[in-house]
Structure 1
């Protein structure tokens, strides 16, 4: 009886871990999918790569409003179980700190969708969109670097390298944008390009975490016959 209870508990934990892993994969794909779909269907007056930010697709009244904001919110909600998984599988304090930063970045992503551009026309007097966007773009690379440092200390070289380089994409994308539009008359010229690049990097890191944790747990998730 005790052994059956142990096996049932083990299977329940394994199932929750699998679901959380799938949630992480889905979260990364939903966010990128929503952004890409919005860019494809957005009319020129709503979005262009040359003169708009990605958030313009989620502006109040834009035809892509539900796609863009809904995708970000759904992605963030899907990310919650995955954050739990990464937390319980963390092997040291630095990895846990990286997970905490990841959680803040995900909250910021949800905030971008909730506090969309011109949300003050609907609710609240002060705009919180910029703060939410800063939470995503500003915290995400540090989450990658800190977690990657923890992974290196845990002897997980592949995950450490992947985390560091996904994090490095963020400043490289922004610096590349600054140098390329240094003489542009508009500060928003091609702004959507680095935004999209760092979004891909953030989603790529989430996917690398999900597949690495899944491979790491594969042996543990198989319940022994006895």
Structure 2
């Protein structure tokens, strides 16, 4: 294992900490006018002109950029085609996360005439569970049962979170109520999977010190 691949592995850990850490801090420091768990989406903290604008969007962008070299690390260490497809979807979701920060709410007031925020958000939340399911299937084929269970399990958290949110609405007129809770749950599931994957790759490298450099 080279220093470059080792650094890329730790980028996965750092990216998760930065992404989830800045989101969490933003929810703490945001004013009630900017964000509440019951009445707002997480992206409201990144809306143009809000005090949490640089913290929220910057954390997503930096965390996502750190995730890209980690995706490369996972790609070169993939053991079969299914794992490679899962890594490709992981990278797609990470790019979507970067897009959420770049194409923040009301970015059309600053640049571009068409809002791309919704597309970026859907890329993250829509692709992330499939990344876990497909990568987990590849891990199962490779005989890595623990990683397979973790990947499929954390991928399944996504639809469960959204389904639970829909059930919680109970026909309420304010369909956006508690939307941020569902978003945060999905974000934690995605970040948690990347963290598990990074630690697994690191431990695998440590157990094979004389393995080929890639």
1:6-155 superposed matches below 5 A: 13-155=1-143
Q: 4+ residue stretches of structure 1 with deviation over 3 A?
A: none
Structure 2 Cα separation of the partners of residues 76 and 32 of structure 1:
11
**Among 187, 194, 209, which residue is 1:206 paired with?**
194
Structure 1 Cα separation of the partners of residues 46 and 188 of structure 2:
18
Residues 14 and 221 of structure 1 are in contact (CA less than 8 Å); yes or no, is this contact kept in structure 2?
no
Structure 2 Cα separation of the partners of residues 182 and 135 of structure 1:
27
Q: Report how many aligned residue pairs link the two structures.
A: 211
With the length of structure 2 as denominator, give the TM-score of the two structures.
0.96
Residue 192 (1) aligns with residue 180 (2) = yes
Secondary structure of 2:173's counterpart equals coil
Deviations 1:116-155 (A, max 9, x none): 0000000111100000000000000000000000000000
Deviations 1:39-89 (A, max 9, x none): 000000100000000000000001000000000000011111101100000
Structure 2 Cα separation of the partners of residues 99 and 70 of structure 1:
24
Structure 1 Cα separation of the partners of residues 209 and 67 of structure 2:
21
Secondary structure of 2:39's counterpart equals coil
Structure 2 Cα separation of the partners of residues 195 and 74 of structure 1:
19
1:162-173 superposed matches below 5 A: 162-173=150-161
Structure of larger gyration radius: 1
RMSD over aligned Cα atoms: 1.0
**Post-superposition offset of 1:21:** 1.3
Q: Which runs of 5+ in 2 are unaligned?
A: none
Secondary structure of 1:206's counterpart equals helix
Structure 2 Cα separation of the partners of residues 197 and 48 of structure 1:
15
Structure 1 Cα separation of the partners of residues 69 and 210 of structure 2:
21
Structure 1 Cα separation of the partners of residues 198 and 13 of structure 2:
7
**Post-superposition offset of 1:18:** 1.5
